[in-house]
Structure 1
């Protein structure tokens, strides 16, 4: 976003949390042979910059 004017509003994905959960899921599959949880919901963070202002 530092190359664009105005700076763009964006979403920050929880990459570390995604990685940790992926490893936990894989370990459960390895240890138990299955993983029954179908959906994992993680909350992204909205980073409001100059491209999206309050009006």
Structure 2
């Protein structure tokens, strides 16, 4: 995950902790491309790690 994506996730996480759902929805919507990329990158990384772990078990 790149630094920009990670920082966007951190920003959104802080908003989620601090504010009401309407503000959270606005923050996520405004940062949606970055959030989406970050989630895809995290998912891909997790899938790759799982694949490597399974290969080591075999």
Structure of higher RCO (CA pairs closer than 8 Å, 6+ residues apart): 1
> Shared topology, TM-score over 0.5?
no
The structure whose residues are more often helix, as a share, is 2
The structure whose residues are more often strand, as a share, is 1
TM-score normalised by L of structure 2: 0.36
